[in-house]
């Protein structure tokens, strides 16, 4: 029987310690007894359900161990430990005992939480090694068993023990004294000497640049068009750390000791030119990299300098005469001036100009943030910046060398003396297409973007105060003082008015925008204070909460229909409208009895590093922003750092408003203005190109999309009858736009193995080709397969497209499936086994298992037959790993011969799409294969793109589909018949639905 004295009835509530569970504390139980507990559930208006009985002893015992230790490192050897609460504590916890390599630390428990964090700074003697961390839980009964985990520690920051100095300078080279290097440790340590020529007219050809050089220039954030690596040293050789003299510009070509395939060119310097030489020290240990960069800025002697030295000796007597004359005149002037003051008369005097000489060179040292390939790395950054840059009232910064020397810009493309006229380049809308195309071809955009000053150009004293430093997401991206958003001071804290945000002027509108970083855990309250105080009504977010499998942004809003209190401001998530590429959220916020409405437009498909998949998606999103009237309240725009993607959106919006009024745009002028208001807006040249392409799409481009509604069928039929040739011509003429934003990666010297191609005019493109691992290890050609990666709609790399395997490549075909974890294959063409290049590449019923390579075994399981295709179910066993068998579905069309441009009826392809979606619901990648890897595959992946677009956006856009897939293989959809057939497939798919709401892209939640 149950003793009703301990009956407790309460509403269900989530458990604070264990997400997804319901918790209830039962107090005042007698100790040292076993109690029986019955838990029953009750809905409103119903009787109690059947209970669950459990028993427990009311006795305090040692806790179970903590769970799941993980690590995060910052840039100052600070280690943050995370661990989860023990499953069963057997009594209140008092402490956690942390042991790191036999040294103990105590963590006192004031409140039990689901996850605990503890930060400590490791001593230097623990750098570059493996450490083991143990965490034990302690209650009044004793200490639990430990939970342990191991990690590696970062290496020390390498450094020069003295300053770099220039020993000698000529018109073609300089000689630098490189001091002794210390703190060299880790798996690898290197020094790179990188040269940048300011205002270089000739762009350096980067076709054969080495991957290390490419990445190095990218890490230094300097342009590859006028920079090169002159030398590279392996610091594991102690001779390279003892200090030595190095000649920059000796015109010697050498092979790096780091990689013998890396050819280094220590090019002769140009006379009278200004250069920055970067001395980069880095140490790497188990994925952690520490980098220190020192810079020398100097100007080589002009070609006339040596001749002038000879002439100098000839004109010394003349100079002495002139000096004597000037002294006499100066003495005379003093006398006249004295007489003038005595008599009250004005006497004319001669004035000599006063000049100041700029130092020949200056040195600047800074650290690059700790980088790590480890999943535990942190997203914070730290730079070592000269103190002088962070102090002073004047907004025009000066060099750390001298107050009269302009701050040296680390962006080598910037003109040392900016010319105002060059910061404007108005383009008429009718000329925008030709101008953009020509500028991409000639490198004009690289020159324009390089003209702009990068890095700090105005004072940011407030943001660098010690109390405010933690409010900056990135240490060298701080709000300028003159344009920063100032909050109301609260709690008598003079630092509480700072937030990393700047006002940005719009087109004929002051303070039209607020550009800010994404909120961090310690600034999210300030963020909502800014929203309230500045009466913001719209927030534009251009980043994902998680990027590259890491949490990048603090979620600053609650779950839908829930409310969170941020300090004194309550935020409720009211509703959301979900589109393919962005979501529109509606929040209500309340403060001191007043309530306001906020709309957040969240663009979801812009990666942190790179540009979006389609320009059209940003164009649609921008039109949404463009519809917001300016003047009432600033528009808050943020990405992660608040400079790159944020700058792009603001600049596009400004230019679109300018185009509406003046029928022209001036991207360069307004970017120059943006950078005067916030540092590094529009970070790189790829973003600068993207802005022009987005404006082109928004203001000029032919709209090829058809909105799906009751009139869609008639619209498509009309377009087939009238506009197909015009549309095909547009696809052809706009191909340069699609190529402009492609990232070709490094042009590795990967072999094309002709014997593995069915047709040698259909080859994998460099940017989209797929490489296999080497098997066997002695055969370098085994990495090659004629296969490319193809984007789906809102799904990068959704498809792998390849030809039907040859007899000699069937092993490569199944290795591809194994390595890319493919579980769904669509085979479009009937196999013509009379062709001696064609073979059966999967087993049938009753056949022995197939072994395409010694370690893979393919077995037939079953087959189902459809009117248009057959579905084969096979298993693949990896005999090397002995992992669980992989089940693979092969959809093989029954009637599409490879000589046909398309099947007889669109229903066949639409039905195949439906089966692929059903079987491949959990597949990240689908493999598509046909006879040549182009004719049938291109038609099918284009149709999949079109249908997905209809489902997600309710738009049919054949042109966009063809343009997108042709990025991967130019032979896709080349014939007018195929283009028309795609429209017919879209019609067939639409007709299969009774109402258009079945594939409506906008989903509203409330």
Residues marked as catalytic: 639
Euclidean distance between CA atoms 374 and 371, whole angstroms: 9
Cβ neighbours, 10 Å, residue 735: 14
Report the SS3 class of residue 457: coil
Look at the chain and count its residues.
1006
Instruction: Give phi and psi for 602, each to the nearest 5.
Output: -115, 105
Instruction: Single out the residue of 416, 384, 413 nearest to residue 400, CA to CA.
Output: 384
Euclidean distance between CA atoms 70 and 658, whole angstroms: 51
Q: How far is CA 473 from CA 144, 379, 460, 503, 640, in A?
A: 38, 8, 15, 18, 8
- Please report how the helices 935-953 and 976-991 are oriented relative to each other, as an axis angle in degrees rounded to 10: 40
Instruction: Give phi and psi for 799, each to the nearest 5.
Output: -120, 150
Encoding tokens for residue 214? 């490419």
Contact of 397 with 459, CB cutoff 8 Å: yes
DSSP secondary structure of 601-653: EEE----SSS--S-HHHHHHHHHHHHTSPSSSSPEEEE-SSSSHHHHHHHHHH
Euclidean distance between CA atoms 724 and 129, whole angstroms: 65
Task: Find the angle CA(689)-CA(970)-CA(724) to the nearest 5 degrees.
Answer: 90
Instruction: Single out the residue of 156, 153, 553 nearest to residue 379, CA to CA.
Output: 553
Strand (E) or helix (H) holding 215:
helix 211-220
DSSP secondary structure of 87-149: S--SS-EEEEEEEETTEEEEEE-SS--SEEEEEEEPPGGGSSSEEEEEEEEEETTEEPPPEEE
Report the SS3 class of residue 172: coil
Task: Find the angle CA(225)-CA(448)-CA(413) to the nearest 5 degrees.
Answer: 45
Q: Specify the pairing of strand 538-541 against strand 594-603.
A: parallel
Strand (E) or helix (H) holding 654:
helix 644-662
- Its sign, for the CA torsion 201, 677, 379, 475, is positive
User: What letter does residue 423 receive in the DSSP assignment?
Assistant: G
């Amino acid at each position: 029987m149950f003793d009703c004295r301990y009956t407790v009835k309460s509403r269900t509530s989530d458990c604070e310690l264990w997400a997804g569970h319901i918790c209830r504390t039962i107090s005042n139980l007698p100790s040292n007894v076993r109690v029986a507990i019955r838990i029953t559930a009750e809905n409103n208006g119903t009787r109690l359900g059947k209970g669950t009985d459990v028993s427990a002893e009311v006795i305090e015992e040692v806790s179970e161990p903590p769970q799941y230790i993980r690590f995060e490192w910052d840039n100052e050897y600070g280690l943050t430990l995370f661990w989860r609460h023990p499953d069963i504590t057997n009594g209140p916890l008092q402490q956690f005992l942390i042991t790191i390599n036999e040294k103990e630390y105590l963590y006192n428990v004031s409140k039990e939480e689901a996850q605990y964090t503890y930060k400590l700074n490791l001593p230097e003697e623990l750098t570059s090694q493996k450490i083991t961390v143990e965490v034990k839980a302690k209650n009044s009964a004793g200490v639990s068993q430990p939970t342990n985990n191991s990690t590696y520690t970062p290496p020390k920051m390498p450094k020069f023990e003295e300053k770099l100095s220039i020993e000698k300078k000529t018109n073609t080279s300089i000689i630098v004294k490189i001091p002794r290097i210390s703190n060299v440790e880790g798996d690898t340590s290197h020094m790179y000497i990188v040269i940048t020529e300011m205002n270089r007219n000739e762009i350096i050809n980067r076709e054969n640049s080495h991957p290390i050089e490419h990445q190095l220039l990218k890490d230094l954030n300097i342009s590859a068009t006028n920079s090169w690596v002159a030398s590279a040293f392996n610091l594991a050789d102690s001779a390279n750390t003892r200090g030595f003299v190095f000649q920059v510009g000796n015109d010697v070509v050498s092979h790096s000791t780091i990689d013998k395939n890396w050819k280094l060119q220590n090019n002769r310097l140009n006379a009278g030119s200004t250069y920055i030489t970067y001395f980069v020290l880095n140490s790497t240990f188990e994925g952690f990299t520490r980098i220190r960069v020192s810079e020398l800025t100097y100007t080589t002697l002009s070609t006339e300098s040596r001749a002038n030295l000879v002439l100098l000796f000839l004109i010394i007597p003349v100079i002495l005469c002139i000096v004597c004359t000037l002294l006499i005149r100066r003495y005379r002037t003093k006398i006249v001036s004295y007489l003038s003051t005595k008599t009250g008369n004005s006497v004319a005097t001669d004035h000599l100009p006063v000049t100041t000489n700029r130092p020949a060179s200056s040195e600047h040292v800074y650290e690059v943030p700790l980088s790590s390939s480890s999943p535990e790395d942190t997203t914070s950054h730290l730079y070592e910046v000269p103190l002088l840059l962070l102090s002073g009232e004047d907004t025009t910064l000066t060099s750390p060398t001298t107050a009269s020397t302009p701050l040296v810009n680390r962006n080598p493309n910037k003109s040392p003396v900016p010319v105002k006229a060059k910061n404007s380049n108005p383009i008429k809308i009718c000329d925008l297409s030709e101008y953009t195309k020509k500028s991409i071809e000639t490198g004009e955009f690289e020159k324009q973007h390089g003209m702009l000053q990068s890095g700090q150009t105005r004072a940011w004293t407030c943001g660098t105060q010690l109390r405010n430093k933690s409010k900056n997401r990135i240490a060298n991206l701080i709000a300028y003082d003159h344009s920063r958003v100032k909050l109301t001071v609260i709690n008598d804290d003079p630092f509480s008015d700072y937030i990393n945000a700047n006002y940005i002027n719009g087109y004929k509108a002051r303070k039209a925008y607020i550009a800010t970083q994404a909120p961090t855990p310690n600034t999210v309250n300030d963020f909502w204070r800014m929203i309230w105080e500045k009466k913001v009504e719209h927030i534009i977010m251009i980043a994902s909460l998680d990027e590259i499998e890491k949490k990048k942004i603090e979620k600053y809003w609650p779950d839908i229909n829930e409310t969170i209190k941020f300090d004194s401001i309550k935020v409720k998530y009211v509703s959301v409208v979900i589109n393919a590429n962005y979501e529109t959220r509606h929040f209500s916020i309340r403060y001191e009895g007043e309530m306001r409405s906020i709309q957040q437009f969240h663009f979801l498909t812009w990666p942190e590093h790179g540009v979006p998949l389609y320009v059209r998606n940003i164009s649609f999103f921008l039109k949404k922003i463009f519809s917001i009237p300016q003047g009432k309240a600033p528009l808050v725009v943020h990405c992660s750092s608040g400079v790159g993607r944020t700058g792009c959106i603001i600049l596009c919006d400004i230019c679109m408003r300018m185009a509406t009024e003046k029928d022209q745009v001036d991207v360069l002028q307004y970017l120059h203005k943006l950078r005067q208001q916030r540092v590094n807006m529009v970070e790189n040249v790829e973003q600068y190109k993207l802005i022009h392409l987005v404006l082109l799409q928004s203001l000029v481009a032919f709209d090829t999309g058809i909105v799906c509604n009751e009139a869609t069928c008639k619209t498509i039929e009309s377009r087939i009858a009238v506009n197909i040739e015009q549309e095909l011509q547009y696809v052809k003429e706009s191909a340069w736009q699609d190529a402009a934003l492609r990232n070709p990666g490094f042009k590795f010297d990967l072999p094309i193995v002709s014997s593995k191609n069915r047709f040698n005019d259909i080859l994998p493109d460099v940017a989209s080709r797929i490489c296999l691992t080497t098997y066997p290890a002695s055969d370098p050609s085994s990495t090659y397969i004629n296969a490319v990666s193809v984007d789906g709609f809102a799904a990068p790399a959704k498809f792998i497209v390849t030809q039907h395997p040859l007899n000699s490549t069937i092993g490569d075909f199944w290795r591809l499936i194994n390595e890319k974890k493919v579980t769904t294959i669509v085979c479009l063409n009937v196999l013509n086994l009379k062709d001696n290049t064609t073979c059966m590449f999967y087993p049938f019923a009753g056949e022995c298992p197939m072994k395409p390579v010694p370690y893979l075994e393919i077995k037939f399981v079953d087959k189902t037959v459809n009117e248009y295709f057959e579905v084969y179910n096979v298993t693949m066993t990896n005999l090397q790993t002995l992992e669980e068998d992989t089940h693979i579905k092969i959809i093989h069309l029954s009637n599409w011969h490879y000589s046909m441009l398309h099947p007889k009826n669109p229903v066949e392809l639409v039905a195949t799409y439906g089966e692929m979606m059903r079987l491949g619901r959990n597949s990240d990648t689908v493999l598509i294969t046909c006879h040549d890897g182009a004719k049938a595959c291109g038609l099918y992946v284009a149709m999949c793109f079109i249908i997905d677009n209809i489902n997600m956006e309710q738009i049919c856009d054949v042109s966009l589909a063809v343009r997108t897939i042709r990025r991967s293989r130019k032979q896709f959809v080349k014939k007018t018949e195929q283009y028309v057939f795609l429209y017919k497939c879209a019609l067939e798919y639409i007709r299969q639905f009774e109402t258009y709401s079945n594939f409506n892209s906008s989903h509203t939640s409330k």
